[in-house]
């Protein structure tokens, strides 16, 4: 079982790596979106390995189901087709800055992670879904209500932003 | 290497990919995709830390749910902003959307 878990972890890590490279490196935005979806599936697999099936389900439902559709709408509404804005290669300076921006936190954080490893369990315990529901309705009630207010405000704000322009025409 | 370290390294990889993408991309949609990558790394890191150490597992999972909800709200707003920008400027290239007032 131990070996099988390691193999599954390596497979999911490779899926995440490939998807992330496609998501940030592809010159076509639709392909980048496919890369993002692949990455999200890989992270859902990681959640399953961590023994949190509810989080894996929510990952697929919220990210793959809702966020990716929104990004796809953004791609369609701006006509960002394959020959769009990302097709021409960026100036070399931009790649250098991007590498610097990525590698600096990577170096610092990986040094901290490897220098001070925390003792970790080998087999994570599954939290029953009843506990999560109780947490939402008892201890973390305020956060639960606030996130619904944030979603409502974001939704009405989005409608308002897109509507005002149409009336002005 | 402990299991937690491995999960944290994967989450760090997602963060690095997102940071690289957000600097390198030249359109708003590409930057939105990079932000989603980074938020995913954050969620994975939180769940791994709460499941594999003695921390409160319920808090970790609900925290990640909160991150997911915020990501959905953020994607909605960014979609609206992208639509407005592309109507007003005719493009979503970040180099051309650089004026505050026309």
What distance in Å separates residue B29's CA from the closest CA in chain A?
Answer: 7
Helices and strands (H, E) in chain B, number of each type:
3, 0
pLDDT at B102: 63
Which domains are present in chain B? 3-89 (1.10.287.3510)
Which among B19, B66, B75 has CB closest to A143?
B66
pLDDT tens digit at each of 169 positions of chain A: 688 989 999 999 999 999 999 999 888 888 999 999 999 999 999 999 999 999 999 999 999 998 999 998 888 887 655 556 666 677 888 889 989 999 999 999 999 998 888 888 888 888 889 999 999 999 999 999 999 999 999 999 998 888 865 555 5
Contacts of B86 (CB under 8 A, 6+ apart): A77, A78, A79, B92
- Helices A68-77 + B57-89 axis angle, to 10: 10
Question: How much is the pTM?
Answer: 0.89
Domain locations in chain A? 2-89, 128-169
**Do B86 and A102 count as a contact with CB atoms less than 8 A apart?**
no
Beta bridge partners of B93: B27
**Do B10 and A103 count as a contact with CB atoms less than 8 A apart?**
no
Q: CATH number for the A2-89 domain, one of 3.30.70.120, 3.20.20.120, 1.20.120.1200, 3.40.50.720?
A: 1.20.120.1200
Contact status, residue B14 vs residue B20, Cβ threshold 8 Å: no
pLDDT tens-digit series, residues B38-96: 999 999 999 999 998 888 889 999 999 999 999 999 999 999 988 888 888 877 788 78
Among B residues 17-36, those touching chain A with beta carbons less than 8 Å apart: 17-30, 32-34, 36
pLDDT at B83: 87
């Amino acid at each position: 079982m131990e070996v099988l878990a390691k193999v599954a972890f390596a497979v999911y890590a490779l899926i995440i790596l490939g998807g992330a490279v496609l998501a940030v490196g592809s010159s076509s935005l639709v392909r980048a979106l496919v890369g993002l979806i692949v990455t999200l599936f890989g992270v859902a697999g990681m959640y399953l390995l961590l023994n949190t099936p509810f989080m894996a389900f929510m990952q697929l439902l919220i990210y793959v189901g809702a966020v990716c559709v929104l990004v796809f709408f953004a791609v369609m509404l701006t006509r960002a087709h394959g020959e769009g804005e990302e097709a021409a290669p960026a100036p070399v300076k931009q790649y250098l800055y991007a590498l610097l921006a990525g590698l600096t936190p990577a170096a610092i954080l990986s040094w901290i992670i490897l220098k001070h490893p925390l003792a970790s369990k080998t087999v994570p315990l599954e939290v029953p879904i009843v506990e999560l529901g109780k947490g939402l309705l008892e201890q973390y009630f305020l956060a639960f209500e606030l996130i619904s207010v944030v979603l409502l405000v974001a939704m009405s704000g989005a409608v308002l932003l897109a509507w005002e322009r149409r009336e002005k025409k | 290497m402990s299991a937690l370290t491995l999960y944290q390294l994967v989450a760090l990889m997602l963060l690095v990919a997102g940071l690289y993408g957000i600097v390198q991309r030249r359109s708003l949609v590409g930057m939105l995709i990079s932000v989603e990558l980074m938020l995913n790394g954050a969620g994975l890191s939180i769940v791994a830390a709460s499941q594999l150490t003695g921390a409160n597992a319920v808090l970790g999972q609900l925290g990640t749910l909160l991150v997911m909800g915020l990501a959905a709200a953020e994607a909605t707003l960014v979609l609206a902003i992208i639509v407005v920008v592309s109507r007003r400027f005719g493009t979503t290239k970040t180099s051309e959307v650089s004026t505050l007032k026309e």
